[in-house]
Structures are given as structure tokens and as C-alpha cells.
Amino acid sequence: MPYTRLMASKQLVADLHLHSRYALATSPRLNIETLAETAIVKGIDLLAAPDFTHPDWREEMRSDLEPAGDGVFRRATRGETAGKDASEPLFVLVTEISCIWKQSGKSRRVHVLLMAPSFDVADRISEKLSNYQDLAADGRPMIGLSTHDLYSLALEVDARCVLFPAHAWTPWYGVYGSKSGFDSLEESFGDLAHLVPAIETGLSSTPEMNWTVPDIGDRALVSFSDAHSPATMGRELTVFEAEPKYESIASALFENRVVETIEFHPEHGKYHSNGHRNCDIRLSPEETPADGRCKACGRPLTLGVLQRVNELSNGSAIKTFLKDGLVHTERSVQGRRAPFRQLVPLRELISQAIGSGVNTKRVAAIYDGLTSGLGTELNVLIRASHDEMGGIADERVVSAIVAVRSGEVEVDPGFDGVYGTVKPRIQGSLV
Ligand SMILES: [Zn+2]
Ligand SMILES: [Zn+2]
């Protein structure tokens, strides 16, 4: 079956939080070739050209990518004259930076995503940042600047740069995180807060949880994978209404032109609940003692995303309804709130359904059969019919995919760095 675009024209399925093999603890396979090939299998249209402050990697990207319009790139053709087919993904320069500074007597660590309109701008930002850090040490550098001062530095280089918080709720590196974050964007970004167009909600929270947080205002809620390996690319995604041009993608963020987001179940993320990994203690916010300390070791618990969202929420109950696999809300919610769907990555679903490890050859064979037979992983997870899939994979796998679409899942929440689990429920029983 030929590649079929899943979304309407003028819609881009985007994964703008990625890493290269030059960031610490990432797969050595993460080069432009792998990023592009994996995006084609998964059905992603627009990718981050990540880690752009790293000098060697930036040079590699500059030679492996070619301009494909204003501020966007695609794989270089290396002299081949054949036109690129429609599934060839586009890239835009987006890098993650870890800001580390002291403010109000507390040390702060906040991760942000920074978009740049050209390699020339990426060069000039990197030149300035090299005064703070050896940028060759890590593709995701730690920079001794506040989020405000980093944004200000980028805007001085080029006013078209865009910056927003990454995985905003995680305890250690989120702008709203329990360990080193803030209660408001204004505390972190100061007079530049109004130029923060979006919040990356992260794996452990859904848009619905963020809808009740007044501080976010009308900002776009976006989701990306933060993948450190090809397999995890696209596990969360944002569908923008945008043209494949830098200005259009940037304005889609500022104007909140999010069509939908594709999400993990928040319990699947590794910081959803409170707890202590080493003490094997997991607690919901209600079960957590008022002093926030662990009963086993007496030290402060790692307070997770749900706890922090509750603390910053206005407590309003939001009515939602499920339609065509998308969770919608009624108009009562402040601002424009895009619907979202909650998926489980296809490899994990196959692994659970057939009882084989996620990295086994059996799982890979079924994954390859489904994605090559039905176009893309996203098409399999969202749209392919029972019959289409039944011709390729056995009934247990097909039932698991269909169960997730209708929200038939059982969850076991993650905490303190331990991933949670999400299992499809098939005719009342777990796979
Ligand atoms: Zn991060
Ligand atoms: Zn403990």
C-alpha cells in the first residue's frame, strides 16, 4: 500500500523534541538518515533537527540536510535528480537546552526547547553559548543562564527564535516541577513570559490535566517524544495546522493552531505519581502525608506530575467526551483547547498481546508487517480497520489495538523515574 497522508493537507504531524547521537545517553544510531527513515515508518511529517548547538553534529546536519523552503530542510539528495516522494519528512531546527541557575535562594534546573530559523542563526546562538559551556560535551548542553536570559540571548541573535518549556511538569527539570521549578511562567521568564507560546506537557500529563491550570492561559499545549532512540520517536506528537515553513510553524505555536495531540496515557510516564523508587513506595496525592516524607526512609518523596498539577489547578471539573478516538472538551474551558488521543506505542501493544519482549524478533516481524502493509504506525494505531489488520496480524494483536482506541485500558502509574504500564482490556480481561 502506498504511503497515505493521515491528516488533511496543511496539517503537519510534528515531533519537535528529539535528540541525536551527540546527546548523552542516546542511541548511536540517531543520525539524519535514521531520523528520516523512522519518521516515514511512523508517519511523522515534521521533525526537529535536534541538538544544534553541538559543533560536529551541526556540521553533519548541514551536509546531510538541504533547504526545502523557508527555514525547513529535508534529507540531501546528494546529486540524485529523482524528486523526493511525498513521505519524505521535513526538519526544522529545534534544540533542547538545560538552564541551570540560582533564583530566590534555590537552584533551578529547567529544560526548554529553542527553535531557530536557519543554520546561520544556530551558528550565532552556539557561538554565544560557547562562552558558558563546552558545547561539544553534550548535544543537550547545560547552560548557566536563566530561562529569561537564554531567551533574551536568542532573541538578540534573531527575533524569529521561539522558546518554550520542555516536559513542563517533571520534578527535576520542568518549569512547574516540584524539585526546582516555579509556580508561574512569569517567575521563570519574567518580562518575556508573554513570548512563551506553548507548554510541552510531557509524557506524565495530558492536555486535560493542563486545562485546569490558570497560569498556562491560552498557550498551546504540545506533545513530543523526547526520544533517545529511534523506537521511541513519535510516542507523543502534535498535529499543527501549518504550512511547511518556519514562520508558519512558529505562528502555529503562537496562535495555538494545534489540531490535535497524540499522547501517552499519563500514568505510563515515569513521574505521574509520588513516591520513592528505592523504597518501592508509590502514593497518589491523596495518600501522600502532608509533610511529603517517605514512611520508609524519612526523606522527602519525589512529588510527581499529578501532585503538581493539582497544586496549580483551579480545581474546576472539566466535562469531556470521546468521539472517533479523540478526547474533546466542551467550550467552557478557557481558550482554544485542541482534542487529544491516548495511544500505546505499537511495539508495546504487540509485545503485550503475544507475550514476547518488546525488543524480540517476533515483535519486530509483526511490527514490520503491519506498518509496511498499512502505510505507517500512526495509520495502524488510529485508522486501519479490523479487517485490514486481521489479514496481517493475529487476533490478539488486532484486539489490543482496537481496545486502546476506545480507551479500554488498565493502568499502573509510574513514579520517581519508574515507567508505568498501560494494558489493553479485551472483553473484560487483560491481554
Ligand atoms: Zn529534557
Ligand atoms: Zn524513601
In a domain, residue 24? The reply is yes
Structurally, the chain folds into a number of domains equal to 3
Residue-level pLDDT at 284: 95
Bridge partners (DSSP) of residue 410 are: 423
Give the Å distance between the CA of 416 and the centre of ligand 2.
10
302 DSSP β-pair partners: 275
Residue 375: Cβ within 10 Å count: 22
- What's the pLDDT at 1? 33
| Ligand closest in space to the Cα of 168 | 1
Specify if 355 maps to a domain: yes
pLDDT mean values, one per 10 residues, the chain (431 residues): 57 97 95 97 97 98 96 84 72 98 95 98 98 95 98 98 97 94 97 98 93 94 97 96 96 96 93 96 95 95 94 89 88 73 95 95 97 96 96 95 94 95 77 54
The reply to whether 324 falls in a domain is no
**125 and 261 housed in the same domain:** yes
| Residues 188 and 290 placed together within one structural domain of the fold | no
Distance 33 CA to ligand 1 centre (A): 23
Q: Are residues 114 and 143 in the same domain?
A: yes
Q: Specify whether 175 is located in the same domain as 196.
A: yes
Q: Per the structure block, which three cell numbers stand in for 1?
A: 500500500
Q: Are residues 284 and 227 in the same domain?
A: no
Distance 307 CA to ligand 2 centre (A): 17
Same domain membership, residue 226 and residue 201: yes
pLDDT value at residue 319: 87
- Ligand 2 centroid–CA 277 distance in Å is 7
Q: Is residue 83 part of a domain?
A: yes
pLDDT, residue 2, reads 33
Question: Do 136 and 243 reside in the same domain of the chain?
Answer: yes
pLDDT of residue 4: 47
CATH of the domain at 95: 3.20.20.140
What's the CA-to-centroid distance between 22 and ligand 1, angstroms? 15
| Any domain includes 318 | no
| Gap from CA of 178 to ligand 1 centroid (Å) | 15
What ranges make up the beta strands (E) of 264-347?
274-276, 281-283, 320-323, 326-329, 340-342
Say how many Å lie between the CA of residue 295 and the centre of ligand 2: 7
Residues 202, 263: one domain? Answer: yes
| pLDDT at 317 (0 to 100) | 81
pLDDT of residue 324: 87
Q: Are residues 254 and 351 in the same domain?
A: no
Give residues with Cβ within 8 angstroms of 318, minimum separation 6. 208, 211, 212, 329, 332, 333
Gap from CA of 217 to ligand 1 centroid (Å): 23
Q: Which ligand is nearest to the CA of 170?
A: 1
CA 204 / ligand 1 centre spacing (Å): 13
Does the residue 322 lie in any domain? no
Domain housing 297: 274-303
Q: Is residue 206 part of a domain?
A: yes
Q: Which residues pair with 329 in a beta bridge?
A: 320
Taking the centre of ligand 1 as the mean of its atom positions, its distance from the CA of residue 233, in whole angstroms, is 15
Examine the domain organization and report whether 284 and 360 are in the same domain.
no
User: How close is the Cα of 290 to the center of ligand 2, in Å?
Assistant: 15
Which of helix, strand or coil describes residue 22?
A: coil
Say how far apart CA 11 and CA 16 lie, in whole Å: 15
Tell me, yes or no, whether 42 lies in a domain. Answer: yes
**CA 284 / ligand 2 centre spacing (Å):** 15
H helices then E strands: how many in the chain?
A: 13, 20
Ligand nearest to the CA of 292: 2
278 and 236 in a common domain: no
* CA 113 to ligand 1 centroid distance, Å: 9
- In the reported structure, the alpha carbon of residue 111 is separated from the centroid of ligand 1 by a whole-number distance in angstroms of 5
CA distance 405 to 341: 8
**Rounded to whole angstroms, how far apart are CA atoms 334 and 188?**
23
**Same domain, yes or no: 56 and 188:** yes
Q: How far is the CA of 198 from the centre of ligand 1 (A)?
A: 15
Between the CA of 278 and the centroid of ligand 2 the distance, in Å, is: 6
The CA–CA distances, whole Å, from 314 to 120, 221, 338 equal 43, 17, 20
